[in-house]
Structure 1
Amino acid sequence: MNTEQGERRVPPPPVAPPKPAAPPRPATPPRPGAPLESERTPGPAAKSTATAAAPPRRPAPAAASPTPATPPRPTAPPRRTVEVLAPPRPATPPRPAGSPDPAAGRADGPGALDDDASPPTLLLRPIGARRRTARLVAPVACLVLGTGLLGGAAAGAWLTDDTDRGATSQAAFEEARSLWRDVPVDQLFPRQLTGREAGPGGSDRLWNRIAVAPDAGCGEAFDTLLAETLAAVGCERLVRATYVDETETSVTTVGLLFTRGEAADMRALHDRFDVEALEQRPDLIPGAYGPAGTLAEDFGDEQRAAWTVRVLGDLPVVVYAVTGFVDGRTITDPQPAAEATEEGQDSTVALAGLGHDAEGIADRVQAGLRDAADGADGEETP
């Protein structure tokens, strides 16, 4: 009995250990140590041994303690390590390590500001190139467009200016047709004309006006052939004056024939005189005006020695001058003024300077006419 009681007492201690045995439940994971169950299977005797062995199992929890250090818990730290790897994403600073590329972006200009975003760093070079090409294409396009606009504006201005000039020149052309009555006679035919170095050998010449013919038609002012030639532009009015040189040796009649022709007609006649050299033909010499009671009263058709005829292409006017001797001598071999003023000419007409008188007086009267035309329209005549 006592033994039984003792045995009964023995079990109580194992009953007490099972309470602590509850904690070893976590030790259950070491089920891989299944041999312990094999030890339990032997029977009740083994229970005593198990109980006896139970105390050493308490250190087993210590072994179980390492089990918490088993991979599950460390696995959580590796997750932390993964999380630690996530911060390395900001470790994109290695991309700044590729900062030379951003530097290239800075070389491109404000685009360097875009280098803060890591993905674009890979695209900066191509983007930079595109920007460069875009920047190059844009100025070139602007240049082309600007040049086109400027060219168009210049062309428009040129066309407009040309049109304005055409309108102005046409208006000036029409206004010039009435200068014979709008301009004072002393302006058309000054009382005295000065020709500095206008004579033979560069000598000075001076001419004084001695007569002014009343304005009239062209009926008897020209020989038949010249009248037929000038008929292409018509005759609006003819004004004339006669001058003598200061030595009273030569006499010159200068005339202004105001035509009815249009600008095209005047240009056509001007070109014809040039091409056919009509100015040099002795059968186209203008008539002289020698009123009685003046130094020019003996100046007639037989005394004409040198002449010039000028058809103005920009004004409805024909300017002419014809020169002879005051003494009324007859001239059998007249010369065009252009020929008589050439160097080396030894004819009487040339040596007397009659060609210089005709040219000099015509030049100055023509210049005065142009001045009058300029004053009429307020613009210079080319």
Structure 2
Amino acid sequence: MASAAACLVLGLGLLGGAAVGTWATGGDSPPDAEAAAYAHAWAAWHSVPVDDLFPPTLRGDGAGPGGADRVWTRVAVAPDSSCGGAFDPLLAKALAPVGCGRLLRATYADATSTSVTTVGLLVTRADADGMRALARRFAAERLGDRADLLPRPYPAPGTAAAGFGDAQRASWHIEVLTDLPTVVYAVTGFADARPVTDPRPAAEATRRGATSAPAQAGLGHAARGVADLAEHAFRQAVARTRKASP
């Protein structure tokens, strides 16, 4: 499985080189250039080593509670797939307007193997206007904070994440990007498969003074930290592909 994952084909515009011209700089782009970048992303196919997208080790300097450093180790990579079964029904409905081009997922364990986190990159079929509309809706309706709109874990037999199912979800983070046709998310829980009856979004679980079980265990920090690091790796892969393109 690890060997196959290392050759993972990340298609459907995952790493559209032309898309990076303005995305990587963070600046605004003319409508025509923006449309061309998205169109190129949807049409392009690229092969990228999975280690470039989901590194075997993620190092989060200052990503833990109180600014502590954290390290997460990859324990499983899912085959790239459609989005079927990857989200709670209401979250799948909320994401439906942007479409599902490809879903990429991996699961990580923390350094002590006491918590596990599934991180996902949903490459959509939407244009820039569609992604901006989704981002506005998520912000206005606080959809990323609702406990009935959670991503689902990717467990793996024989790993620390073997018992990581829906009932074990403790904290989560969802980020709708607007300069890439991508939704980045992470969901985390305890590695001992204990059920969690009161999951909390990372934004709440990382607040100073938060007393929920996910907050006390630092699981909000894990969800946010792993999601941020995966997004960073994704952006780096896009930038490298642009430099390599003719």
Q: Is the 8 A contact 1:236 1:260 kept in 2?
A: yes
Aligned in 2, Cα 1:163/1:271: closer, same or farther, shift over 3 Å? Answer: closer
Give SS of 1:356's match.
Answer: helix
Distance in 1 of aligned mates of 2:217 and 2:28: 49
Match of 1:361 among 204, 219, 226: 226
Partner of 1:212: 77
Give SS of 1:255's match.
Answer: strand
Q: Is the 8 A contact 1:180 1:258 kept in 2?
A: no
Q: Is the 8 A contact 2:34 2:128 kept in 1?
A: no
Q: How many residues align?
A: 218
**Does 1:322 find its partner at 2:167?**
no
Partner of 1:172: 37
Give SS of 1:290's match.
Answer: coil
Distance in 1 of aligned mates of 2:62 and 2:112: 16
Higher helix share: 1
Match of 2:238 among 370, 373, 379: 373
Distance in 2 of aligned mates of 1:294 and 1:163: 43
Which amino acid is the alignment partner of residue 309 of structure 1? I
Give SS of 1:216's match.
Answer: coil
**Does 1:231 find its partner at 2:102?**
no
Distance apart, 1:182 and its partner CA: 3.2
Match of 2:55 among 186, 190, 195: 190
4+ aligned runs moved over 6 Å, structure 1: none
Q: Is the 8 A contact 1:173 1:314 kept in 2?
A: no
Deviation per CA, 1:293-332: give whole Å up to 9, x if none: 1110100000000001111111111100000000001000
Distance apart, 1:177 and its partner CA: 4.2
Q: How does 1:303-342 map to 2 (within 5 A)?
A: 303-342=168-207
Partner of 1:281: 146
Aligned in 2, Cα 1:284/1:171: closer, same or farther, shift over 3 Å? Answer: same
Aligned in 2, Cα 1:256/1:207: closer, same or farther, shift over 3 Å? Answer: same
Q: Is the 8 A contact 1:305 1:354 kept in 2?
A: yes
Which amino acid is the alignment partner of residue 200 of structure 1? P
Distance in 2 of aligned mates of 1:254 and 1:246: 17
TM-score normalised by length of structure 2 = 0.83
Q: Is the 8 A contact 1:172 1:376 kept in 2?
A: no
Q: What are structure 2's unaligned runs of at least 5 residues?
A: 1-26
Q: What are structure 1's unaligned runs of at least 5 residues?
A: 1-161
Distance in 2 of aligned mates of 1:338 and 1:163: 27
Partner of 2:216: 351
Distance in 1 of aligned mates of 2:118 and 2:84: 17
Distance apart, 1:222 and its partner CA: 1.2
Distance apart, 1:375 and its partner CA: 2.9
Distance in 2 of aligned mates of 1:171 and 1:352: 45
Higher relative contact order (CA 8 A, sep 6+): 2
Q: How does 1:55-134 map to 2 (within 5 A)?
A: none
Distance apart, 1:348 and its partner CA: 1.5
Distance in 2 of aligned mates of 1:228 and 1:203: 37
Which amino acid is the alignment partner of residue 164 of structure 2? F
Aligned in 2, Cα 1:188/1:175: closer, same or farther, shift over 3 Å? Answer: farther
RMSD: 2.1
Higher strand share: 2
Which amino acid is the alignment partner of residue 306 of structure 1? S
Q: Is the 8 A contact 2:35 2:127 kept in 1?
A: no
Distance in 2 of aligned mates of 1:267 and 1:210: 33
Distance in 2 of aligned mates of 1:177 and 1:292: 34
Distance in 2 of aligned mates of 1:375 and 1:179: 15
Distance in 1 of aligned mates of 2:43 and 2:206: 33
Q: Which structure is larger by alpha-carbon Rg, 1 or 2?
A: 1
Partner of 1:21: none
Distance apart, 1:197 and its partner CA: 1.0
Distance apart, 1:163 and its partner CA: 10
Distance in 2 of aligned mates of 1:180 and 1:345: 44
Distance in 2 of aligned mates of 1:181 and 1:211: 22
Q: Is the 8 A contact 2:117 2:222 kept in 1?
A: yes
Aligned in 2, Cα 1:176/1:318: closer, same or farther, shift over 3 Å? Answer: same
Distance in 1 of aligned mates of 2:222 and 2:28: 40
Distance in 1 of aligned mates of 2:44 and 2:238: 7
